[in-house]
Amino acid sequence: MEERMPTYGGQAVIEGVMMRGAQSVAIAMRAPDNQIILHTEPLTAIYRSKILKVPFVRGVIGLWDALGLGMRALTISANVQTGEDEKLEGPALYFTLGLSFALGIGLFFLAPAAVGQLSERFLGLNSWWGNLIEGLIRLGLLVGYIWAVGRVPEIQRVFAYHGAEHKTINAFEAGAELKPEIVKGYSLEHPRCGTSFLLTLVLLSVVLFSLLGPLPLGLRLLSRVLLLPVLAGISYEYIRWTAHHLESPFVRKIIRPNMALQHLTTREPSLEMLEVSIAAFDAMHKDETAVNL
């Protein structure tokens, strides 16, 4: 049986990249003085828990912890740029994370659900059409939001580091030498990207919510919140399954929308950005190797 490679992931941060392995995480950041600053730490015990091997459940738990980890990584990178010693951690971190999560649910799930309900009431549409309108609004909000923030120069640099992260992981998975000049030739797309997860979740929401049929507004809004973990679990398993079956022509076709959307959240990185991304990957990989010895 062919041995499966470790699954590595990452995230762009402010002037840097976070790389996450199975047991450790590393953040590399370009400081104002042009030096590359490295921060490494072991992952929490939840990443080694047996619960993360349970299908559907692992997607929900992993997503929540990844959000917290991503927020901490952004905070660390911001501190490097500003030189401030204050850190967002503990209760303050989780309050910020919870508030952001609540605003996201309100904008991308509850608001479209309310519009869908109004379309059924005032346009005389059945629940299927109302749910379709809801899903289209949700999809439009997602794509429009990504497009809009991508026009901000500072975010464009973050998106370029996102591209550097993808290229680095693609190069590693292809067995290439991790040098900026070599990594630059690899794709900006990656099948396990968080952008793909979001698009999958939005598209699946149309199907799942349509199965609920007509609901009063209160129950409709409540169902969108309560079923979000279900959508996250299904979306995670779908992304995981497609990433492990890329040799199939059918799989490569069905993930084309996911890969296409990534062009809104990535930009072509410079060699200096690739140097930072490679530094993060090398630091993480070194820690992973040391732990497994």
Residues 5-34 pLDDT 10s? 457 889 999 999 999 988 899 999 999 999
Q: How confident is the model at residue 4 (pLDDT cuts 50, 70, 90)?
A: very low
Output the furthest CA–CA distance in the chain (Å, rounded): 66
CA 130 to CA 164: how far, in whole Å?
A: 40
Q: Is residue 205 part of a domain?
A: yes
**Can you give the pLDDT at residue 291?**
60
Is residue 2 situated within a structural domain? Answer: no
Domain-embedded: residue 3: no
Q: What is the pLDDT of residues 184-232, one digit of tens each?
A: 999 999 999 989 999 999 999 999 999 898 899 999 999 999 999 999 9
* 182 pLDDT higher than 70: yes
Q: What percent of the chain has pLDDT over 70?
A: 92
Length of the chain in terms of residues written: 293
In what order do the strands lie in the sheet containing 36-42? Answer: 9-13, 16-20, 24-30, 36-42
Whole-number Cα distances in Å, 180 to 18, 130, 141, 165, 235: 17, 49, 35, 12, 33
Exposed/middle/buried for residue 289 (C-beta within 10 Å: 0-12, 13-18, 19+): exposed
Query: What's the pLDDT tens digit per position in 270-282?
Result: 999 999 999 999 9
**Number of domains comprising the chain:** 1
1 in any annotated domain: no
CA–CA distance, 235 with 30 (Å, rounded to integer): 33
What pLDDT digit, counting tens, does each position of 94-145 carry? 677 778 888 889 999 999 999 999 999 888 888 889 999 999 999 999 999 9
Find out whether 15 and 35 touch, Cβ atoms under 8 Å. Answer: no
Mean pLDDT, residues 176-191: 96
Name the band, by pLDDT with cuts 50, 70 and 90, for residue 92. low
At 1 the pLDDT is 34
Using H for helix, E for strand and C for coil, what is the string for 89-143?
A: CCHHHHHHHHHHHHHHHHHHHHHHHHHHHHHHHHHCCCHHHHHHHHHHHHHHHHH
Which range of residues forms the domain containing residue 42?
Answer: 9-84+92-292
Check: CB of residue 36 under 8 Å from CB of residue 279.
yes
For residue range 59-83, list pLDDT tens digits in order. 787 777 777 788 888 888 988 888 7
Structural tokens at position 91: 């209760």
Whether residue 117 is contained in a domain is answered as yes
Q: Does any domain span residue 58?
A: yes
In a domain, 245, yes or no: yes
Closest-CA residue to 279 (of 199, 287, 220): 287
Q: 4 in a domain, yes or no?
A: no
Cα 18 from Cα 71, distance rounded (Å):
11
Q: What is the pLDDT of residues 211-223, one digit of tens each?
A: 898 899 999 999 9
CA torsion sign for 184, 265, 60, 232 is: negative
The secondary structure of residue 187, as a DSSP letter, is -
- The reported pLDDT for the residue numbered 87 is 59
Structure tokens at 199: 């698009």
